[in-house]
């Protein structure tokens, strides 16, 4: 068994955590930290499973059993350099040097969004793959980013 860390945003959950905390626990999410930001509920999982797809799928099933359906796996979306640096356990400055192709193999993934606002957003699965190939990201984080769920 391996341990996988990932975050699922539950966009259709009520923002009052005291009303739903026990429900998530009883549904099988005892390995998750229930959080809220600006009224949006999310769960940070540390789930043990044979592989990342199994860990994520079982967590999604647990949440769906409560009637929630507007779910987003944060690690399959877009992120800023700061967010990705935190996920990878790197400094923002190091990841910025990779993005500018001043370090690494010169093939860092290009940003996807936010160029005109100067808040570039990158595809985390693309960056995770690149970091893993460079030996800068552990296998479990890579597997979560690449999981096809």
Q: Stretch 78-83: mean pLDDT, rounded? A: 93
| Strand pairing class (2-10; 40-49) | antiparallel
- Per-residue burial over 106-138, b = 16 or more CB atoms within 10 Å of its CB, e = otherwise: eebbebeeeeeeeebbbbbbbbbbbbbeeebbe
Q: What would you report as the CA-atom Rg of the chain, rounded to the nearest whole angstrom?
A: 16
Other C-beta atoms lying within 10 Å of the C-beta of residue 55 = 27
Question: Which tens digit of pLDDT belongs to each residue from 41-64?
Answer: 999 999 999 999 999 999 999 999
Question: Which tens digit of pLDDT belongs to each residue from 104-127?
Answer: 999 999 999 888 888 899 999 999
pTM of the shown model: 0.88
Given pLDDT bands bounded at 50, 70 and 90, which one contains residue 15? confident
Q: Stretch 17-23: mean pLDDT, rounded? A: 91
């Amino acid at each position: 068994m391996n341990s996988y860390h990932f975050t699922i945003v539950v966009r259709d959950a009520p923002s009052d955590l005291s009303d739903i905390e026990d429900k998530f626990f009883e549904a099988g999410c005892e390995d998750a930290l229930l959080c809220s930001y600006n009224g949006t509920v999310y769960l940070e999982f540390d789930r043990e499973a044979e592989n990342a797809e199994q860990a994520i799928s079982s967590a999604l099933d647990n949440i769906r059993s409560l009637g929630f359906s507007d779910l987003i796996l944060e690690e399959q979306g877009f992120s800023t350099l700061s967010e990705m640096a935190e996920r990878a356990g790197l400094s923002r400055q190091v990841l910025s040097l990779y993005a500018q192709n001043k370090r690494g193999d010169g093939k860092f993934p290009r940003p996807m969004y936010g160029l005109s606002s100067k808040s570039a957003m990158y595809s985390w699965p693309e960056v995770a793959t690149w970091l893993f190939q460079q030996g800068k990201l552990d296998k479990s984080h890579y597997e979560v980013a690449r999981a096809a769920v």
